[in-house]
Chain A
Amino acid sequence: MNLFLDGIAWIFDPAHLNGPGGIWVRIGEQLSYTFGAVALAAIIAIPLGLWIGHTGRGRDVAVLTSGGLRALPSLGLLIIFALAIGIGFKAPLLAFVILAIPSLLSGAYAGVEAVDRRTVDAARAQGMTEWQVLTKVELPLGLPLLIGGIRSGVLQVVATATLAYFASGGALGVFINDGLKTRDYAELIGASIIVTVLALLLEGIFALLQRLFVPRGVTAGRISDVRSRPLRPRAVVGSPIQEGK
């Protein structure tokens, strides 16, 4: 446990916290990668995902592509970009955008698809246009899953952004690289603690957001019966999945 105490002591050393290459700056870089990459990925993936979910077209392609993208090792991807477009912040950012896309894409189409088809039919039968069906029915009801996708993308990138230092892109990985080189275990553990706490904080914030965005009525209880308990236990806000940490 002493190592962890050393790590914590390392974090709170003012010499490490402040200054141009200090902890605060690196945290800022880590978060910039996270939100920057997710925002860019969202611009591409969410409209595409909604379209796929609404029309049902291109679903198989989307499933296959996002499956394939998930299998990509994030470290390799990042390094390929670094070699191709040069070191700096662009290469990691691009790699992280690609990492975030599968989660956002599947969150968007799965959200729309998860909406009960009878509800959609009913909306259409009442005379809603396709646009209205999408924006007034499918989107609000699919929102929890969509946000889940964003959450999972954010967590994936915040964890993976640690690797940006391989492309000389800064962020918290710089400390880990330093610690590994100089065998400074306090620095290694300290930086690891910061990354983990950052990820847990974001996870908490998104868990809360997701809970807020479950439409009222969807979470309402269901009848029970001696014969059959409800097949689907009520929706529970769950946890994300990320691969390329």
Chain B
Amino acid sequence: MCRIGAIKSKNYTHPSKALQLMQSQQKGHDNSGFAMVMQDLGGIFEGYKHLPTLSMACTDEGLNLAENILHEAGFRRVLQWVPDTFPNDDLDINAMPNYVFETFSYPKSYKHATEEEKEELLLDMRLKMRAALEPNEQGFVYSFWPDVVTLKEIGDPRDIGTFFNLWQEDENFTAKVITAQCRQNTNYDIVRYAAHPFFLQGYTGLANGENTFYQKNKEIQSKLHRGYIGFESDSQCFLYTLHYIHRQLKWPLQYFKHVITPLPFDELQSRDDADQLRSIRQSLSHLEINGPNTIIGVLPDNTLFTCCDAKKLRPVVIGRTEDTIAIASEVCGINEILPDRQWSTDIYPNEREIVVINDELEVARWKQ
């Protein structure tokens, strides 16, 4: 079973907190990897929030390929950050030669472009780089988006932390929202792209559990949007559905829950919005998610949320202090990073709930 976690704070937070959050849940995962997405960045990226940052792991050749693609399109590099790494033969990590975090300015021709046009461009560029680097595994392009960095690696999370010196807190590499997961999936091959959190156009998704409707989700999603690719893990389907509902259809977040875990027909009948919910259920039945799971998601405005499968077959808990909120599969993770919180206010969401946390750390609990 995967373990997932998320931290959202009023202050910029170092990823060591995410490692601590996950490490104490270590018995529940198999130490096969670590992946995280950081959003609302501080430290060296704080001054570049409006410009896209490329996150990738690659060979030298891969780096060339990717940079050439961006340069040809008119992107110019404005910031490069190469994390110091500390290789050691004793570390259990399957490292790539380069870890690249570079921020770019938009092509001149996009000076007057709308946000939407820029967002489409960024996706196209990422897909192009991914395709170019895919043969011979020249590299893995995780995200290319403003105010977002992604790190994924195969190995023991503790050793991955050591390799990148992530256990050592500093102020250069911080964010207000960090989502993390410690396990390579077991259903499919161990590949870096299969590690959640997954990221697409401002949306982040990670899941603890199983999507038994993977096949039908995949079949419909692959025709819905050019960005819905890969499908290295069944958990990607959660993200793509979130993206489709919230960004493509422009429906509010509560409808995401109605799509993935629709109300049973007899419950639905008695509601005022029965007509709409029935329409949604029938039109998007191939996006329904069955099987046990907990989802954590982040929206482009950095809203953090979590919800569960319709039978509440996977755990999740939310703990909070004045300035920080943490979500984790197990409460021990939260105890680790928020030991002094009022634990009686912890939230254990039920199967029909979405718990939503905004930038002011206000917690809203919506019943489906």
A binds B: no
